[in-house]
Amino acid sequence: MTGFTFSIGTRLSGEKKKTSAGPILSPGDSLARLQKKGYVGLYDQEAPDFSIPWNLDLNWNYNLQKEDPLFPSKGSGISASLGFNLTDFWKITATTSYDLINRVFTAPQLTVYRDLHCWELNFNWIPTGPYRNFHVEIRLKAPQLQDVKITKQGGLRGIE
């Protein structure tokens, strides 16, 4: 055997609360319902809905390579990715990895996406490491016109 790899991962996620249309309530019914919840807002409004869709991916991997029996090579790392929709139009993702052998964080990355109706905005930022940079792009969403875009990027050599 010259190589062995083992990986395990999981995904946790939450969804936005489902709402359904119900009977039309009178102001008195609404106030009574709010008092039952134990929350009454400044103008007798319902409690705000802070539930947002999210997902968390966690992975661990281990590999051992023995192509040369005198110099085996092994690696092990943990990676995590957190993504959530701040609103229906904003999506944010953060990823990172940790090398358990060398005890360093590798490849942290933050991505922000904004749907602008006919346009879309992508922002990608790698804050540390040899590939440290940022990339901002605004482009048309239509598949035939995706080459119509504005791009700005910067890295270790400065803004390009």
Q: Quick one: which of 87, 80, 94, 99 has its CA closest to 127? A: 94
Count of beta carbons in the 10 Å neighbourhood of residue 42: 5
pLDDT over 90 percentage in the chain = 49
The pLDDT of residue 52: 82
Beta bridge partners of 4: 64
Task: Give residue-wise pLDDT tens across range 79-105.
Answer: 999 999 988 899 999 999 999 999 998
On the question of pLDDT at 107 being above 60, the answer is yes
Triad 74, 78, 80: Cα angle to 5°: 155
Taking phi over 0 as left and psi of -120 to 50 as alpha, with beta for the rest, 155 belongs to beta
